[in-house]
Amino acid sequence: MKYEKNVDLTSLNTLNIQSIAEYFYEVYDVSQLIEALSFARANNLGVQILGGGSNVILPSVVSGVVIRMAIAGRELKPINSSIADFIVGAGEDWHEFVLYTLQQGYPGLENLSLIPGTVGAAPVQNIGAYGVEVKDMLTEVTVIDVESDGLEQYTLQNEQLDFEYRNSLLKKNPGKYVITSATFRLDKHAPLKTTYGDIAERLVDTEISALTVSNAVIAARKSKLPDVLDIPNAGSFFKNPIVSHDKLQQLKIKHPKVISYKVDESSYKLAAGWLIQEAGWKGYRNEKVGVHAKQALVLVNHNHGVSEDILGLAKKISVSVESMFGVALEIEPVVI
């Protein structure tokens, strides 16, 4: 196995940001991953793991070693007649894995259909959509501790991963852990979640099953989010902010149409896309980057913008929303 030097990463990130990796490895098994990590350590180089490139903002040059995760594999391990564990390589495509679980007759992940990226990236971000989060089905991940003396591989259980909304122990400790596989426990008799967002409307006059829910989610996402092959983007760019009950009531006085979802008795999630739209950014474009015309939550790179262009626009949007609503926005993608 040999590294490559000065590799163009433009086609390996969905924002299509022009970026060069100083050193580059593509790894297909754990031994190759350890070899790449050992090379970085021996040469005192930093390490950046790249999966599907759907949730990162890359600089023009990534110093050190970029490791593209391509570890594949799917194992279905029955626990009993209705429950099974799915043990999946970190480099597997997330959406293809979701479809695979449905083909095997196991619901649970259908609300997370068509989310771009790899299986290994999903727990880091605790990806979620339509009332479901990865943490709900994930039982454990196998990781390599990059900071350990022998690059040890071990297992972290769900309860050790400190999951929060779009966050986890893995994201809070960037550069420490590399996921090699993830295990999901699914139940053939798990109830379907069909009331979140516009999914219920899309299921009217349809026989409801995990597959039809998946199809409704796919249709909903396609109607709102641009295909990265048509226009480069990183999907939802901002997290939905969480506010207190009192803050929501204050907002409703000035903005009675504010969109919110109850999280618990004292907190509510606001629709970041609505806030951005009301602040006047929906459909905005400058000479390089902009905001999608159909979904204000999505920033697009329509003319070879670089990370500074994307982050500069995100900053302007955040300042504008905070000035108008008194609510701070936080971006979802990882800034390298």
> Which amino acids are annotated catalytic?
166, 236, 332
Do the Cβ atoms of 319 and 281 come closer than 8 Å?
Answer: no
Tally DSSP H helices, then E strands, for the chain.
9, 19
Q: Please give the torsion angle defined by the CA atoms of residues 27, 156, 334 and 122, in that order, rounded to the nearest 10 degrees.
A: 80
Provide the 3-class DSSP secondary structure of residue 290.
strand
Bridge partner list, 141 = 156, 182
Amino acid at 236: S
Residue 314 and residue 137: Cα distance in Å, rounded?
Answer: 32
Rounded CA-CA distance 193/67 in Å is 36
- Strands 20-27 and 61-69 turn out to be parallel
User: What is the distance of C-alpha 295 from the center of its chain?
Assistant: 17
Q: Are 49 and 98 within 8 A, CB to CB? A: no
User: Which position has the token pair 């297909």?
Assistant: 28
Q: Count of alpha carbons within 13 Å of 285, Cβ hemisphere only?
A: 12
Closest-CA residue to 135 (of 156, 104, 105, 114): 156
